[in-house]
Structure 1
Amino acid sequence: MTTEEHVVLVDGAGHAIGTAPKTSVHGHETPLHLAFSSYVFDHEGRVLLTRRADHKVTWPGVWTNSCCGHPLPGEPPERAVLRRLSYELGLRAEPADLLLPTFAYRAVMPNGIVEHELCPVYRVTVDAPVAPNPEEVGEVLWMPWKEFAEGVQNGLLAISPWCREQVPLLKELGSDPLTWHPASAADLPPAARL
């Protein structure tokens, strides 16, 4: 028997205020909760894009960054990144470098379902083949970072709303994603500093 996965609820200042079942927090009144986004790169600087599985509750079938998810209560976000990369893409990789410690967004789907997340962003570099889990991922695609970032910013690529907001912030870190300097974990919201 498996127990239902819980997410960490946070206030506007990023302090944990409780937990809730993951299945209960994505609806028309989605509370702010702790999440993460990650961008996987190969050693050529290509970014791994994923198309969300068609049966996902939020943004089904939409192309996005490599992997997103939620830290479990008491789980450091960087460990959650590595756990979900293994589950969703069959990737075993370390480290997960913190890039955007305080990224947050709210997005509403056409059917009214809301994503509302405090969502630190991480980078992972790999040299292993990807094995997508069809429960989570419909398709994968490697794309040169420059081509991807320009396509997103010029509106030429249809991409998830959170990724669309993250790309300009990542571009500010420099033109080569492999040389971006990690942020300090001390800059994470209080709920993510474990």
Structure 2
Amino acid sequence: MSYLSTMSDIVLVDIHDNPIGTMEKMEAHQKALLHRAFSVFIFNDQGEWLLQQRAADKYHSAGLWTNACCSHPRPGEPVAAAAVRRLEEELGFQTSLQPAFSFIYKAEFGNGLTEHEYDHVFMGRYNNAVLPNPDEVAAVRWCSAEEIRQDLQQYPSRYTAWFRLAFDRVAALQLP
């Protein structure tokens, strides 16, 4: 597990996404405190979704399939800028992103950590090479919404908590 992926401050927020302080990321997850996050969903011109399988040594949800990328903005960093930065760090490309919606969720993991996030969802389009960072991503794949929906129904435990919660809303908004 890389030092950079676990030892950084994140922005604590209230239920209206107003900043109320910062805290080291692991401590915030141990205390289940609400914090700012983002999730990026990428589609190609065929309408397929770019999914990533989280690296095996991630601090939670390791090996699970999820949206193109997700993370936390740094203190003082605009959420949209953080989403663009993280997309390049995890998958090796940049593309224009549009804000879609936000939601709050809470998911407990068996390792004593809890994600309690005010999650900003962004959507974008991309059709070129994906260059996954092996420290962050085990694999990538492109899938249709119907393939994902069927797999989610049969094997929900293969996917991250936030992806399962956001899937239907993203599918309804998918870029044309």
Is the TM-score greater than 0.5? yes
2:75 — aligned with what? 73
Q: CA contact under 8 A between 2:53 and 2:64: conserved in structure 1?
A: yes
Q: CA contact under 8 A between 1:50 and 1:139: conserved in structure 2?
A: yes
Distance 2:144 2:71 in 1: 24
1:86 — aligned with what? 88
Distance 2:171 2:125 in 1: 17
1:40 — aligned with what? 42
Deviation at 1:150, TM superposition (A): 4.2
2:99 — aligned with what? 98
Distance 1:170 1:40 in 2: 10
1:178 — aligned with what? 175
1:128 aligns with 2:125: no
Unaligned runs of 5+ in 2: none
Aligned residues: 170
1:116 — aligned with what? 116
Where 2:29 maps in the other structure, the secondary structure is coil
Distance 1:164 1:147 in 2: 14
Q: CA contact under 8 A between 1:38 and 1:123: conserved in structure 2?
A: yes
1:18 — aligned with what? 21
Deviation at 1:169, TM superposition (A): 1.8
Q: CA contact under 8 A between 1:43 and 1:126: conserved in structure 2?
A: yes
Query: Percent of aligned pairs with the same residue?
Result: 36
2:159 — aligned with what? 159
Aligned Cα root-mean-square deviation (Å): 1.7
Instruction: Give the structure-2-normalised TM-score.
Output: 0.89
Distance 2:154 2:80 in 1: 30
Unaligned runs of 5+ in 1: 180-194
Instruction: Give the structure-1-normalised TM-score.
Output: 0.81
